[in-house]
Structure 1
Amino acid sequence: MRAIYLCLVVVLSIPLFTTAKGIETAKQVEQNLWVMGMPTNADIERFAEQGGDIVVSLLSVSEQSQTAESTWVTHHGMAFYHIAIPGAEGLTFAKVRLLDKVLLEHKEKNVLVHCASGNRVGALFALRAAWLDGKDKEVALKIGRERGLTSLEKTVSEMIAQ
């Protein structure tokens, strides 16, 4: 009796990062946009190897000074932007506009935006959705949550309502 083996090859589209752990690993939220908490050197290297172009850090100045991230990013041939958001007090219209400017200037490139946990990332994106894109509060907060907004949600909600 002869056995016949059928080999099926499936080609999958593999994302730049897995999304199984949410913001602990980069999460793709738009065609060219990924968000996450604090990346490691390995995360930065993987992002570069898989087509990453820009890394935007929202860490505070003191947090940023404790990492070699800008060196890691530029070593791998990517551009690095630092928009310091030290917490709720860093959530300003000027910072939202600055992030928006970076994203618009590089809209055709693969961009990773991060902070330590993803909370500030989500906060800035929620404010951007409300203040710059004219989204209503609930839609803006949903966008923020999808990008990591957690403990800053009450603050962001109040800022949008003003």
Structure 2
Amino acid sequence: MKTFTLLLFSCVVLLFNAPLAQASTRQKKKVPEVEKLDNAPNLYKSNNMFFSGQPNLETFEWLKQQGVDLVINLRTEGENEDFAEEAFNEEVLVAKLKMKYVSLPIAGYDGYTPENLKKFAEALDNAKYKKVLIHCGSAGRVTYFMMAYLVEYKDYKLADAIAFGEQIKFSFPLEYLLKEEVDWQLK
């Protein structure tokens, strides 16, 4: 009876500690450096990825010259239609520049779902593309999706993904108020 009780207790302890063990397997990775580019407002580069707010015509042409062959647009259909009325149809322009176009409309908090993150990851991880532009209206949605992508699909610690996001468009004022760094962890 003692052996059975000890075995049962051990199983319960292992069961409840499994999520903790899984979370602790994430190893600290080097946070990718992000470079702020002067070619357009809210334009950033990290390795083979560019991040931005809504690019203008000149920025798209410049990005094509840089070798970008995939554009992931996180703006909503309404945002895209409004922009097309006042400037140009992005999907048509991207096709004319011979780049692949992926529209993943993210509207408000309802768009921040694991399903949309999975679609984002699938578009981003397509190996046949060399350089990628990911954009929304101001680079905010881009930053959140990239941070979640790094954690969920690239096995980064949350704190490292946040450090990446802070180089683009993410800030969390709690750290400024406390005058010290917050230790971010997933539960």
TM-score range, shorter chain: 0.7 to 0.9
Moved over 3 A (4+): none
Aligned partner of 1:59 among 65, 72, 75: 75
What value does the CA root-mean-square deviation take over the aligned residues?
A: 2.5
* CA pair 44-20 structure 1, distance change in 2 beyond 3 A: closer
User: Which deviates more from structure 2 when the two are superposed, residues 40-49 or residues 141-150?
Assistant: 141-150
1:39 aligns with 2:55: yes
Aligned residues: 137
- Output the CA distance in 1 between the equivalents of 2:43 and 2:128: 18
Question: What's 1:19 paired with?
Answer: 37
Runs (5+) with no aligned partner, structure 2:
1-34, 173-184
Contact 1:29 1:146 in 2 (8 A): no
SS at match of 1:80: strand
Shift of 1:42: 1.4
- Output the CA distance in 2 between the equivalents of 1:116 and 1:27: 14
* Structure of greater relative contact order (alpha carbons < 8 Å, 6+ residues apart): 2
Q: Percent sequence identity over matched residues?
A: 21
1:128-143 correspondence to structure 2 within 5 Å: 128-143=149-164
Rg larger in structure? 2
Shift of 1:89: 2.1
TM-score normalised by the chain length of structure 1: 0.73
- Output the CA distance in 2 between the equivalents of 1:53 and 1:147: 21
Q: Which amino acid aligns with 1:37?
A: G
* CA pair 138-145 structure 1, distance change in 2 beyond 3 A: same
Question: What's 2:65 paired with?
Answer: 49
Higher helix share: 2
Q: Which amino acid aligns with 2:170?
A: L
Question: What's 1:77 paired with?
Answer: 98
TM-score normalised by the chain length of structure 2: 0.64
SS at match of 2:141: helix
